[in-house]
Amino acid sequence: MRVLITGSAGVVGQEVTRELAARGVELTRVTRRPAGPNDVGWTLGAEAPPAAARGPWDVVVHTAASTRWSMSRDEAVAANVRPLEAVLDLVDDRTHLVHVSTAYADGAEPDEHPVPSAFGRYRNGYEWSKAECETLVRSGHSGPLTVVRPPLIIGARADGAIGRFTGPYTLMQTLVSGLAAAVVGDPDGYAELAPVDQVAEVVVAAVLGVPPTGQRTEVIAGGTECLRLGDLLDIVCTTINQWRAERGISPIAAPPFIATRRWHRFFLPLAEQHLSPIQLQVVQLLGMFESYTSLGKPFEPTRQVEDPGAVLARSVRWWADRKPRLAARIPEPWKLID
């Protein structure tokens, strides 16, 4: 079996590569920064494919993507759409294409948008680009296709391990630094999380299993077992404080909740006038989380995440053990500027 994987150094790509290698699958790994003998250096979408990346391939796993929420439309096209176009040039109707998308590719309902979005029903450039990619891959690939849709990704189920700290881990950093002066959202809103090893498990099963006769979509989510935002914050703060207590460090306080519409109507205008540039940048970053951690309803999974609270706690502890200087910080209270 000839298998190509893109984004092999990314959060999901690392885990998929490790699992397939453990099963004896010979992989050609595409990454911008090759580090091993089977690595192919290639910036997808920006340059022609090297000879080692050309097919024919039995399976192509496309995990390469930028997950940055602050991308403009042009940046999102360059980071996500153009690379997929390059991947589609490598496959034919016999190739099983496994495309890692996002559970948020359907966008949000109009009443879920606290403020108008430049991307219509999508909250940001990342979501919009992943939706564009799904449209492109569903219409542009005539062979078997599996689309894998994870939500926010956390560490592995057994120990919380993850290859890179992105997404939800930003919340942990802002809590211990004191920069998260408040959490914007509904405490009863749904917060969907998926362990990275379960995401990889679904991808690996697609690679090794019988390809679909057409197109198949796998959604990895908690569904009825999904956490609420209030529970998520409680687990994060409790786990951090347990870690800090073991080291004789004073606990952090859980920040208050502010309703989304109240935040945008009253607090954000004041923040733009009275916060420092760094504080305002943090406020805007945290604001991007609100629509991800306050969903009106959970997703309907094809692969259910079980006990996401326990996995989240292990993930927080893994992060603290590997970022001890960050986890041990003494929060600094916010100060307004004149």
The confidence band for 119, taking pLDDT boundaries of 50, 70 and 90, is confident
Percent of the chain surpassing pLDDT 90:
66
Helix pair 196-208, 11-22: axis angle to 10 deg: 50
For the cut 80, the answer to whether the pLDDT of residue 115 exceeds it is no
Q: Are residues 170 and 76 in the same domain?
A: no
Percent of the chain surpassing pLDDT 70:
87
The confidence band for 173, taking pLDDT boundaries of 50, 70 and 90, is confident
Q: Could you identify the residue written with the tokens 């916060």?
A: 275
Q: Are residues 183 and 45 in the same domain?
A: no
Q: Give me the mean pLDDT over the 223-228 stretch.
A: 93
Per-residue pLDDT, 113: 53
Residue 236: phi and psi, rounded to 5, are: -60, -50
CATH number at residue 34: 3.40.50.720
CA angle 97, 36, 46 (to 5 degrees): 55
Helix or strand or coil: residue 98?
strand
Domain span at 108: 3-149
Does residue 72 lie within any of the structural domains? yes
Cα–Cα distance between 169 and 153 in angstroms, integer?
Answer: 10
Per-residue pLDDT, 289: 65
Q: Which of 71-85, 158-172, 173-187, 305-319 has the lowest average pLDDT?
A: 173-187
Per-residue pLDDT, 241: 97
Q: Are residues 166 and 315 in the same domain?
A: yes
For the cut 90, the answer to whether the pLDDT of residue 331 exceeds it is no
Q: What is the pLDDT of residues 23-56, one digit of tens each?
A: 999 899 999 888 777 789 999 999 999 999 997 9
Cα–Cα distance between 115 and 289 in angstroms, integer?
Answer: 14
For residue 216, list its beta bridge partners. Answer: 146
Q: Are residues 99 and 162 in the same domain?
A: no
Does residue 330 lie within any of the structural domains? yes
Does residue 212 lie within any of the structural domains? no
**Cis amide linkage into residue 56, ω under 30° from 0:** yes
Q: Are residues 25 and 95 in the same domain?
A: yes
User: What torsion do the CA atoms of 30, 35, 38, 44 make, to the nearest 10 degrees?
Assistant: 10
Edge to edge, what strands does the sheet with 39-41 contain? 39-41, 27-31, 3-6, 59-62, 96-100, 145-149, 215-221, 303-304
Per-residue pLDDT, 174: 82
Q: Are residues 143 and 164 in the same domain?
A: no
Per-residue pLDDT, 87: 97
- Tokens for 40, please give them: 């192919």
Cβ burial, residue 205 (10 Å; 0-12/13-18/19+): middle
Check: CB of residue 96 under 8 Å from CB of residue 144: yes
Q: Are residues 161 and 141 in the same domain?
A: no
Q: How many domains does the chain have?
A: 2
Residue 313: which H helix or E strand, with range? helix 308-322
Does residue 288 lie within any of the structural domains? yes
DSSP string, 176-242: HHT----EES-TTSEE-EEEHHHHHHHHHHHHHSPPPSSEEEEEEE-GGGPEEHHHHHHHHHHHHHH
Q: Are residues 145 and 163 in the same domain?
A: no
pTM of the entire structure?
0.91
For the cut 50, the answer to whether the pLDDT of residue 186 exceeds it is yes
Q: What is the pLDDT of residues 297-322, one digit of tens each?
A: 899 999 999 999 999 999 999 999 99
Position 266, amino acid: F
Does residue 74 lie within any of the structural domains? yes
Q: Give me the mean pLDDT over the 213-230 stretch.
A: 95
The confidence band for 258, taking pLDDT boundaries of 50, 70 and 90, is confident
Q: Are residues 240 and 119 in the same domain?
A: no
Does residue 221 lie within any of the structural domains? no
Q: Are residues 180 and 106 in the same domain?
A: no
The confidence band for 329, taking pLDDT boundaries of 50, 70 and 90, is very high
Q: Are residues 101 and 167 in the same domain?
A: no
Per-residue pLDDT, 338: 47
The confidence band for 111, taking pLDDT boundaries of 50, 70 and 90, is low
Last residue of a domain, one of 116, 149, 182: 149
Distance of CA 314 to the CA centre of its chain: 18
Per-residue pLDDT, 176: 87
The confidence band for 116, taking pLDDT boundaries of 50, 70 and 90, is low
Per-residue pLDDT, 278: 67
Q: Are residues 127 and 241 in the same domain?
A: no
Return mean pLDDT, the chain: 89
Nearest by Cα to 168 from 84, 246, 227: 227
Q: What is the pLDDT of residues 72-88, one digit of tens each?
A: 999 999 999 999 999 99
The confidence band for 64, taking pLDDT boundaries of 50, 70 and 90, is very high
